[in-house]
A and B are shown apart, each in its own frame.
Chain A
Amino acid sequence: MSTSRRQFLKMIGASAVIGLGGISAFEILQPGQFEASQLSKNPEALVGKRWGMVIDMKKLDNETMQKCIDACHRIHNVPNIDNPKEEIKWIWPETFEHAFPGMESKYMSEEIEHMQFLVLCNQCDNPPCVRVCPTKATFKRADGIVMMDMHRCIGCRFCMAACPFGARSFNWRNPRPFIKEENREYPTRMKGVVEKCTLCYERLAKGLKPACVEESNGALIFGDLDDPNSEIRKVLREHYTIRRKSELGTEPSIYYII
């Protein structure tokens, strides 16, 4: 009996239906495994559609900046390695010409030229690091946080090459000996993974603002950029702000008031 094209297509359709049935049968045979209804968000968690930050350099002095940096590095077990080739940083000070290349001018105000700018991962809307990550260890969450899944990072460092802000650090060695005091509620990292600021996702889940924002005495404003009534949007409406390397089109979510 020869098979006509029509019969063949019917057969394919039928086997697809049976195949789908097979999948659900497989799930029935493994009852009580993991169900989506078993998990939920913390009701206290902060929710937003596009988290962002405004850094008000008029209010941020060097001392507060250091406090922000220390708080972040302390709670996230960021090691303190002196060698600049191996150092790990999530949030750090940077000069104007390094933070905003192309914006400097010959006769710029000396105050701004010598100012230390607080820089961190820009939590880009269009993050190049996510695009290049072969294992999807770096990914963008629905709320705009560019996250690292340390379990999946293979240390290829494509993301470091892709990030135009140098916001990522590679662990060349086991970081544990370089952590003065471990925060026992947060993991460390291991040799061979890349790490960066994750906008304190673990604090947002508890309903707390990022650690640097909390330490900054109001110089750092954190909020939902997607909500026109939020505090951060009010600040953005009232002030002229700049972003780092906006010409590259990565759409950073960190704004600076100068």
Chain B
Amino acid sequence: MYNGGKIIIGLLIFVGLVITPFLFSGEKATAKPDPKVNTPEILKLPESERKCIESKEYMRSEHMKLLNQWRDWVVRDANALYTSTTGKQYKMSLQNTCMKCHSNKKDFCDQCHNYTAVKPYCWDCHIEPKEES
């Protein structure tokens, strides 16, 4: 092999450059999100009532579609109440219903949104709950 040494060194530098981001990505970026649901408002509820409007799995994967639908239903069709699959009725409101229980935006919303690099623009207009610290 002509110039074998140089080629190998070059290759090593190349591989090194390629894997740098992986080496230097701190634990922060790879730490799994762990959204907290232990807000005072939720803890106040009796154990059996500590449920979101739909199942955990559904909310986890579909909450964005649900919110999207809610905003159209409320603003455009003038409907105010949502009947969940359990038959309970909820007022459709991000600020007054969702965030009333989940008053910990940083530990609830932002955890996953930061992890998945999703930046919803809800909070440009809707007022996020007041949090300590």
Q: Is the CB of A41 within 8 A of B85?
A: no
Given contacts A32-B85, A39-B83, contact A187 B78 (CB under 8 A): no
Q: Is the CB of A38 within 8 A of B95?
A: no
Q: Is the CB of B125 within 8 A of A187?
A: yes
Q: Interface residues, chain A, CB within 8 Å of chain B? A: 32-34, 37-42, 45, 139, 141-143, 147, 149-151, 182, 184-190, 201, 205-206
Whose C-beta in chain A lies nearest to the C-beta of B126? A187
Q: Is the CB of A39 within 8 A of B82?
A: yes
Cα distance A44–B102 in the bound complex, in angstroms: 27
Give the residues in chain A near B69, CB-CB below 8 Å. 34
B86-106: CB near A (< 8 Å → 1, else 0) gives: 000101100110000000000
Q: What is the CB-to-nearest-CB distance from B85 to chain A, in angstroms, rounded to a whole number?
A: 7
Give the residues in chain A near B121, CB-CB below 8 Å. 190
- Whether B81 sits at the interface, judged by CB under 8 Å, is yes
Instruction: Pull 13 A–B residue pairs with CB atoms less than 8 Å apart, ordered by A.
Output: A38-B83, A39-B79, A39-B92, A41-B80, A41-B81, A139-B76, A143-B78, A147-B75, A149-B75, A182-B127, A184-B127, A188-B127, A205-B78
Cα distance A151–B122 in the bound complex, in angstroms: 9
Q: What is the CB-to-nearest-CB distance from B132 to chain A, in angstroms, rounded to a whole number?
A: 16
Instruction: Please give the number of chain B residues whose Cβ is less than 8 angstroms from any Cβ of chain A in the complex.
Output: 28
Give the residues in chain A near B95, CB-CB below 8 Å. 184-187
Q: Is the CB of B75 within 8 A of A151?
A: yes
Residue from A32, A40, A151 in contact with B71 in the complex, judged by beta carbons closer than 8 Å: A151
Q: Is the CB of B79 within 8 A of A41?
A: yes
- Whether B73 sits at the interface, judged by CB under 8 Å, is yes
Q: Is the CB of A141 within 8 A of B78?
A: yes
Cα distance A139–B77 in the bound complex, in angstroms: 11
Give the residues in chain B near A151, CB-CB below 8 Å. 71, 75
Q: Is the CB of A40 within 8 A of B81?
A: yes
Give the residues in chain B near A33, CB-CB below 8 Å. 65
- A34-B66, A40-B79 known; 17 new pairs, CB 8 Å cut-off, are A33-B65, A34-B65, A34-B69, A39-B73, A39-B82, A40-B80, A41-B78, A42-B80, A42-B91, A182-B127, A184-B95, A185-B95, A185-B96, A187-B125, A190-B124, A201-B78, A205-B80
Q: What is the CB-to-nearest-CB distance from A23 to chain B, in angstroms, rounded to a whole number?
A: 18
Q: Is the CB of B125 within 8 A of A189?
A: yes
Give the residues in chain B near A142, CB-CB below 8 Å. 78
Give the residues in chain A near B96, CB-CB below 8 Å. 185
B1-22: CB near A (< 8 Å → 1, else 0) gives: 0000000000000000000000
Cα distance A40–B130 in the bound complex, in angstroms: 30
Cα distance A188–B77 in the bound complex, in angstroms: 21
Give the residues in chain B near A182, CB-CB below 8 Å. 127
Given contacts A184-B95, A185-B96, A188-B127, contact A42 B76 (CB under 8 A): no
Give the residues in chain B near A205, CB-CB below 8 Å. 78, 80
Interface centre among A139, A143, A186 (most CB of B within 10 A): A186
Cα distance A205–B75 in the bound complex, in angstroms: 11
Cα distance A168–B73 in the bound complex, in angstroms: 24
Cα distance A36–B117 in the bound complex, in angstroms: 32
Residue from A38, A141, A143, A185 in contact with B82 in the complex, judged by beta carbons closer than 8 Å: A38
Give the residues in chain B near A190, CB-CB below 8 Å. 121, 124-125
Whose C-beta in chain B lies nearest to the C-beta of A206? B80
